[in-house]
């Protein structure tokens, strides 16, 4: 009985939030993302009873893989990457619903075979199935997949109904404004916008969702959340890893495309947007687009330059010497690809005019940490300065996105004693302490939301285009400059001098997260 409650998927029950009977089809199912994130996410949804009772998974790829072999591949991926120990019972039920279809992404006949397989599942279960197509291939094959989903009629299945087909599309969504617009056109030739789920896995992170709760479920923040009280905002997405084995991709991408245009811009939009009228997808995304539209074009050179870029040089990480970017495998010795980027953004609206938003991201930095730090204006310190000449710290509210997820607030407190001396103190809230540490992975939430039809945590077409509109001129400028103006930083440091200069120009400095 207890088992029935823990694993409702096993018994044909579901606590799911309304997903109709579904078949998830993963294109690129033999790939790294499928093994590390997607299959473990689907397994954990099954484990939690969040999949519809009538659920099926189909892998799709070029190599001929029998169903049984794909089931073994999936089992191995779950064993290695699931956040939880797999339960044999839950996996057995999922395994019998896990199939594989092989064929080329540009081969219409393969999509017809896929359609026939889905029709067979529907016949067996006696009801229509929603098809959720997850495009998890390199971007070079996004377009042929979309075209064949259109040509085979799979994209238009049950159009306008609860179980209509949907598509999740992986990043990178374009490499500049023109290619993002072209991809949006490919998508909207075959899918309505309501069927499209552009993924940014940062939106699936628990702490990123909590940012909205903290902002809009607590009345103390909103009155202060503006240019009258906030001095500036720093958004840091720092990685300690280097390019690893991904130079093939990264050499074409660089930090601005890989991290800033999507993940950090999303963090900025959620921090700076106006309160939406409701939490439905369109209301939230309308507000994000509005604030992205208010960001001023970046100044690309001269004394007012708003951007900095750099490459990691040799250095020390975790006590060990590490290579510089140019020495990494498959990196051109003359590469101008930036592994670090920082931007100073101005939002020209009523709420934020005059409040700089600083964004930075990079690889081979001092440690892995992502945070949004909201720095408030200093209190006038004269009352206490007489007694101890101390300088009061500026209050800082920091949302720690990862790791060690939490929220902290720096306040000034009186040091106990007969004199009135102050010291900054930190109030800390840690998720793990309050809620335990086994939180769902981003992809669990995102796959479930797409099944349910909730696009709140996905990027709308106009949103991605607006973000590219800001970043594309920067990329074009950097491409024209080549290595001229490309700064460097020692691996294991917090970034280059040019990033410090961006803030110093306003009398600010990066905080150490
Ligand atoms: P892979 O490079 O592992 O490719 C996935 C699958 O696509 C391969 O197994 C292969 O399947 C097929 N494929 C690969 N190259 C080609 C090609 N040139 N032409 C046609 N098919 C090809 O990608 P990932 O799994 O790492 O990533 C998938 C998507 O997710 C990408 O868009 C990536 O940017 C994005 N992503 C990945 C992350 C990760 O951690 N891996 C993180 C964030 C986003 P087969 O040969 O069986 O057809
Ligand atoms: C991906 C980037 O989108 O995000 C990677 O392509 C990066 O380069 C990764 O390492 C970081 O994600 P996370 O969730 O580990 O912070």
Q: Which two tokens stand for residue 350?
A: 């009523």
d(CA 430, CA 434): 7
Is the Cα dihedral 365, 367, 368, 373 positive or negative? negative
- In this structure, which long-range contacts are made by residues 281-284, counting pairs with CB atoms below 8 Å and at least 24 apart in sequence? 281/454, 281/455, 281/456, 281/458, 281/460, 284/212, 284/456
d(CA 306, CA 300): 6
Low-confidence ranges of the chain (pLDDT < 70): 1-17, 381-382, 385-390
Residue 442: inside a domain, yes or no?
no
From the CA of 249, give the closest atom in ligand 2. Answer: 6
Kindly report, residue by residue over 150-189, the tens digit of the pLDDT.
999 999 999 888 889 999 999 999 999 999 999 999 999 9
By most ligand atoms within 8 Å of CB, the mutation choice from 32, 73, 114, 203 for ligand 1 is 32
d(CA 51, CA 98): 14
Residue 446: inside a domain, yes or no?
no
Report the candidate in 438, 456, 436, 437 with the shortest Cα–Cα distance to residue 446: 456
Total tally of structural domains belonging to the chain: 2
What is the span of the domain harbouring residue 411? 203-436+460-504
Residue 335: inside a domain, yes or no?
yes
Q: Is residue 228 domain-shared with residue 164, that is, in the same domain?
A: no
User: How many helices (H) and strands (E) would you count in the chain?
Assistant: 18, 16
Residue 311: inside a domain, yes or no?
yes
Q: Is residue 265 domain-shared with residue 319, that is, in the same domain?
A: yes
Residue 378: inside a domain, yes or no?
yes
Q: Which two tokens stand for residue 216?
A: 């809009």
Alpha-carbon torsion angle 373, 376, 382, 387, nearest 10: -30
C-beta 189 within 6 A of ligand 1: no
Residue 3: inside a domain, yes or no?
no
Nearest residue (CA) to ligand 1, atom 29: 136
Segment holding 430, helix H or strand E: strand 421-430
Q: Is residue 166 domain-shared with residue 258, that is, in the same domain?
A: no
Alpha-carbon torsion angle 281, 282, 287, 292, nearest 10: 90
Under DSSP, the state recorded for 274 is P
Are the CB atoms for 401 and 205 separated by under 8 Å?
Answer: yes
Q: Is residue 82 domain-shared with residue 128, that is, in the same domain?
A: yes
- Measured from CB, residues less than 6 Å from any atom of ligand 2 are 171, 239, 258
Kindly report, residue by residue over 276-309, the tens digit of the pLDDT.
999 999 999 999 999 999 999 999 998 899 999 9
Are the CB atoms for 71 and 108 separated by under 8 Å?
Answer: no
Q: Is residue 224 domain-shared with residue 323, that is, in the same domain?
A: yes
Which CATH number covers residue 317? 3.30.360.10
From the CA of 199, give the closest atom in ligand 1. Answer: 44
Are the CB atoms for 480 and 301 separated by under 8 Å?
Answer: no
User: DSSP secondary structure string, 214-233?
Assistant: HHHH-TTTGGGSSTTTEEEE
Which CATH number covers residue 101? 3.40.50.720
Find the helix packing angle between 177-190 and 142-151, rounded to 10°.
20
The whole-model pTM stands at 0.94
C-beta 171 within 6 A of ligand 1: yes
Are the CB atoms for 240 and 367 separated by under 8 Å?
Answer: yes
Give the distance, in angstroms, between the CA of residue 175 and the centroid of all CA atoms in the same chain.
17
| Beta-sheet pairing, 230-238 with 357-362 | parallel
From the CA of 253, give the closest atom in ligand 2. Answer: 6
Residue 510: inside a domain, yes or no?
no
Residues known to be catalytic: 263
pLDDT at 422: 84
Residue 289: inside a domain, yes or no?
yes
Q: Which two tokens stand for residue 179?
A: 């290619």
Nearest residue (CA) to ligand 2, atom 6: 258
- What is the 137 CA–ligand 1 centroid distance (Å)? 4
């Amino acid at each position: 009985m207890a088992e029935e409650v823990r694993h409702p998927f096993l018994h044909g029950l579901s606590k799911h939030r309304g997903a109709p009977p579904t078949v998830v089809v993963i294109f690129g199912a033999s790939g790294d993302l499928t093994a590390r994130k997607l299959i473990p996410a689907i397994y954990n949804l099954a484990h939690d009873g969040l999949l519809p009772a009538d659920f099926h998974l189909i892998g799709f790829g070029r190599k001929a893989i029998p169903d049984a072999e794909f089931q073994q591949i999936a089992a191995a991926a779950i064993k290695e990457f699931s956040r939880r120990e797999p339960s044999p019972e839950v996996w057995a039920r999922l395994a019998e619903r896990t199939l594989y279809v092989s064929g080329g992404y540009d081969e219409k006949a393969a999509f017809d075979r896929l359609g026939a397989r889905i029709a067979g599942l529907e016949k067996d279960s006696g009801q229509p199935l929603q098809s959720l197509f997850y495009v998890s291939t390199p971007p070079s094959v996004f377009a042929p997949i979309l075209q064949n989903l259109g040509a085979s009629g799979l994209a238009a299945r049950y159009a306008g109904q609860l179980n209509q087909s949907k598509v999740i599309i992986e990043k990178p969504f374009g490499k500049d404004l023109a290619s993002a617009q072209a991809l949006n056109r490919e998508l909207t030739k075959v899918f309505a916008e309501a069927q499209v789920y552009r993924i940014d896995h940062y939106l699936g992170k628990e702490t990123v969702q909590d940012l909205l709760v903290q902002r809009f479920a607590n009345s103390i923040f909103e009155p202060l959340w503006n240019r009258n009280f906030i001095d500036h905002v720093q958004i840091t997405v720092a990685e300690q890893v280097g390019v690893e084995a991904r130079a093939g991709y990264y050499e074409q991408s660089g930090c601005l495309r890989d991290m800033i245009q999507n993940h950090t811009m999303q963090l900025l939009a959620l921090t700076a947007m106006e309160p939406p009228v409701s939490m439905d997808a369109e209301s939230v995304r309308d507000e994000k687009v509005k604030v992205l539209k208010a960001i001023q074009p970046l100044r690309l050179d001269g004394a007012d330059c708003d951007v900095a870029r750099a490459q990691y040089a040799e250095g020390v990480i975790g006590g060990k010497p590490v290579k510089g970017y140019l020495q990494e495998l498959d990196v051109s010795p003359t590469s101008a690809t930036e592994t670090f980027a920082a931007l100073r953004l101005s939002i020209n609206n009523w709420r934020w005019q005059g409040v700089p938003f600083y964004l930075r991201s990079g690889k081979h930095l001092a440690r892995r940490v992502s945070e949004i730090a909201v720095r408030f204006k200093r209190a006038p310190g004269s009352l206490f300065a007489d007694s101890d000449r101390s300088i009061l710290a500026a209050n800082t509210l920091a949302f720690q996105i990862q790791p060690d997820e939490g929220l902290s607030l720096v306040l000034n407190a009186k040091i106990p004693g007969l004199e009135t001396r102050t010291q900054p103190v930190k109030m800390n809230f840690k998720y793990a302490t309050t809620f335990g540490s086994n939180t769902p992975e981003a992809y669990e939430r995102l796959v479930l939301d797409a099944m349910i039809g909730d696009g709140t945590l996905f990027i709308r077409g106009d949103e991605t285009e607006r973000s590219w509109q800001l970043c594309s001129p920067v990329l074009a400028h950097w491409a024209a400059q080549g290595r001229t103006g490309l700064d460097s930083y020692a691996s294991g440091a917090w970034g280059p001098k040019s990033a410090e200069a961006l803030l110093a120009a306003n009398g600010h400095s990066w905080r150490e997260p």
